[in-house]
Chain A
Amino acid sequence: MSLHVPSPAAPPLTVDAPVLELRSLTRTHGTGIAEVHALRGISLSVYAGELVAVMGPSGSGKSTLLTLAGGLDTASGGQVIIEGQDISTLGRKGLAALRRRSVGYVFQDYNLIPALTAAENIALPRELDGVSVRKARKEARAALEEMNLLEIADRFPDEMSGGQQQRVAIARALVGDRRLVLADEPTGALDSETGEAVLALLRNRCDQGAAGVMVTHEPRYAAWADRVVFLRDGSIVDQTLTAGADSLLAAGGAE
């Protein structure tokens, strides 16, 4: 068999700082005999333009990694650095502001607000961040248009298919200047073709400069990523690299 596989896109920027950096991250639950090490010293850097998939068996620490990366949980040790800021140095308000400004989440069950339309759902985080309603809604419509979803701008979540809801959730995750998207099994509830459309969109947003981390147990979706990181028992045991990314590793950009 002989295939002419296209070269991967240019490796992520090596001069810029990573959008997300995890340094020796640990998370322990319980104490003494009941102590469980969910993460055991994870180091990982994710750059603008890069989509990283995290795979591993249940209980390997995938979801813990994502919640710590997004500041939804507090690490037992190590650092989470988002756009150059160590989130442990920020107060509660500061962290909330950083999350709103820099981090977008995509969940398996979409988490759209049922009483708001697609455009309103996308506009909401911007409005919370102090952007005028008018401007936020304009941005939301522009985001939907860019993703060929303008026709559902005024639909409520229960009037959309699962795939449409998830695409709206991705638009919401990346509206404004947010450059980091954290996706937890974003294709979990979708059929194969719709899941793929969602992945293609996530891939496209990363190609346009976002940094993405996606937890998935589906190898077919992980294959859309530039890099696949394998977790086992709270540690990174292996990762696939795109050609050219070795220089990045040599520079200490990733574990």
Chain B
Amino acid sequence: MADDRAGRTTAPGPAHWVSGLVPDLRRDVLFPIGGSLVSFAVLVGGGLAYVALVGGSSDRLVTAMLIDAIAVIGLQIYIGNTGVLSFGHIGFGAIAGYAFAIAAISPERKARWIPDAPFGLTDVQVSPLVAVVIAVVVALAVAVIVGIGLARSGARSGAVAASVITLALLFVTHEVAANWTDLTGGDRAPLSFAIGETLESRAPILAVLLGSLVAARLFAQSRTGRLAKAAREDNLAARAMGVDPASQQMAALLLSVVVIAIAATLRVYEIGSVTPRVFFFEYTLLTLVMLIVGGRRSIAGALVGVVVITAGRELTRRLATDGYEVAGVGLDGTPADWVFREGLPTVFLGLAMLGFMILRPNGLVDDWELDEWLHRRLTAEARPPETQPAPDAGPSRLLEADAITVDFGGFRALSAAGLRADSGEIVGLIGPNGAGKTTLVNVITGIVFATEGRVSIGSTDLTRTPTHEIARAGLVRTFQNLRLFSSLTVRQNVEVAWFTAERYRPDGLRPTVDQLVAAAGLWEQRHRRAAELDYGNSRRLELARAAAAAPTFLLLDEPTSGMSDQESLAMIEQVRTTASSVGAGVVVIDHDLGFITGISDRIYVLDRGAVIAEGSPDRVQADPAVQAAYLGSAADSIETQQPRGVES
């Protein structure tokens, strides 16, 4: 720890970062592994202690809980990191479970249940381990197809389409399992292992549990995991920082399906048989409840959820078995009351959903992680890094948006408008509301495609290029209505864009994440969530985040909207220093004349979708067409409208 402290008190240079895959060996590898070991020990130790204490049927209960834990970790990897509510992961489990059973069950038993299985599967038998591999591969193959479909549908947090597609997957697998009886035996003839052939030892379950805990935590801390979480928080902002959410989501999906598939094979192997209902709605809901009640955004939450729900169900089941009386209905544990034994845990499940959701809408532990907490406690407070003097900017490049025309239905938002900016200058874009300023920036950053016209940086044509590729090419924007990754910390917000710089702009000027955070005056707040920042700090963070992508050009959409005059002035300073620290040119939109004239080297004036004037601030202000457009009939009063607080 001593060297780490030394490494932290000096400015963390590029050597501090291990590679593009994992940002920080200690924080993102060692601690997660250590934390996983601790959670594993607590979970398994607690379970075994319960077995030792109670004995009897509790043995199977704990085994089932550990398998559920693996499945819920698998769910968390996808749902937690991407924010997409998937109903279909247990469907992948069904595929893997059947693949495993069909491959591992002996031909003699299969001849009884599925004598006419296609592809000669009746006569196949492999060892359980090979069968697990087969099950994972089959589930992965389906996951790739589903993943492509999800990407096509624009899956993101809150996307209904993605939830429907996954729900459909669950039902399709169930229908196939129930009705393709030649292959699966259907509802009537459950595929089952011979007695004595099922899973006897708990060791494989423990090994898989530990492995999936570690895998899930490492994934969450990896570059891919962090980018996925950024896209979970704000899909568009992530794309504008150079993140391609589809590829991060695919990675999360495949890893989660591997974990779920193995959990499913263990479940089948432990139960000893598989029927369509083993992996259907009931298990989907149970695992989802566990995850969401515990806290879908963290592995700690997943485990807490598994324990709380398992314990609650067990407790109510025992209550119903051993006898009690509540609200006039009671029983003394006689066998006739099986309905109660079935019903009470269900009531608990329902009330747990209602109660926990009302009290803790983001789950019991929300996004708390054990290893992150330990890391914060065991790491010395770092001092803010020195800001390095800005090195010389590279060769200047030209941003050109040429003759851009945009039609929204019958409305022409832009007609042959355009601008040019050199990477050494600050260009202002001004115009009354509805002039088409934001539309122009949206076209330049690929959020809106132009009907006609061309966008390029230097010799690179960026017309009709997806947003994330434009960001990677060096054009990074901020948003008028603040789009931060609100549940990530200040530092993590900056880090997301920094990853883009590291991978796609290795030659650009790159201050470290900590330098960027410190330069924005956010050092003290670097471990706070972005959502907790006040408005001015949020604006500053957005600028720092954009700069972290080492852009050639920064496009700032109304960076001072909602700010006081004083804050606007400070913002002018921050924009200038930030731009020079990464050697970026700036295109800034605003309708505040004072701000724009105070900051810009050149100004474009947009009105009703067309550029009506261009030139130095003085020249533009004196232009009669600008005065007419900007101030309407009161054009002559522009002299009295002195730019606020700006000496001209």
Q: Do A and B belong to a common assembly?
A: no
A residues adjacent to B (C-beta < 8 A): none
